[in-house]
Amino acid sequence: MAKIPDRDEHRRRFAALPLADRRAIVRAVNRGQVVAVRKHAPLAVVLARRQQRLWRYAWLVGPLLGLVGLMDGWQVAIVNAMLGTLMLGGAARFWHLRATRAERANLALAEGRRREAERLSLTPWQARRAERGQRD
């Protein structure tokens, strides 16, 4: 089992990295991919979990947008709330799924399972395409 750093250790280790490495970790997590350097995998897992917490509740901003429209009437407030919730809900789902995929892939990499990590970082469409390529 890989050792995942706690919040303070993560901050310390992440801050000690060069800017290029920090950007590479954030970029990999944002794309839902595995990091290139195995020793950065635990840091990517913590970052992915933090992003999951953010995106899990981001859709709640949508109803707050409806409050802005209360000055123009309750119908406008309801429309603003519905549109805001749908748009932010879709974006939150997209980014939450990517963070989840990055967490699983980097956790597998941290445990030393590189092939499984690369497979887990594929989107469903990429996985189907790779599977078809193996059959041909």
Whether the per-residue pLDDT at 6 is higher than 70: the answer is yes
SS3 of 70-107: the string is HHHCHHHHHHHHHHHHHHHHHHHHHHHHHHHHHHHHHH
CA angle 130/132/134 to nearest 5° reads: 70
Give the tens place of pLDDT for each residue, 57-90. 888 888 887 887 788 888 888 888 899 899 999 9
Q: Which residues contact 62 (CB under 8 A, 6 or more apart)?
A: 81, 82, 83, 84, 85, 86, 87, 88, 89
Query: What is the distance between the alpha carbons of residues 45 and 91, in angstroms, rounded to a whole number?
Result: 21
Q: What is the pTM of this model?
A: 0.79
- For residue 32, report the phi and psi dihedrals to the nearest 5 degrees: 75, 30
pLDDT of residue 51: 94
Give the tens place of pLDDT for each residue, 116-133. 777 777 777 777 777 777
13: Cα separation from own chain's centroid? 20
96 and 123 Cβ atoms separated by less than 8 Å: no
9-23, 25-39, 43-57, 67-81: least confident range: 67-81
Residue 135 confidence class, pLDDT cut points 50, 70, 90: low
Residue 93 confidence class, pLDDT cut points 50, 70, 90: very high
Residue 98 confidence class, pLDDT cut points 50, 70, 90: very high
Question: Which is more confident, 115 or 4?
Answer: 4
Owner of token pair 């497979």: 119
Query: What is the distance between the alpha carbons of residues 10 and 26, in angstroms, rounded to a whole number?
Result: 13
Angstrom CA distances, 27 to 23, 51, 121, 128, stand at 6, 12, 13, 24
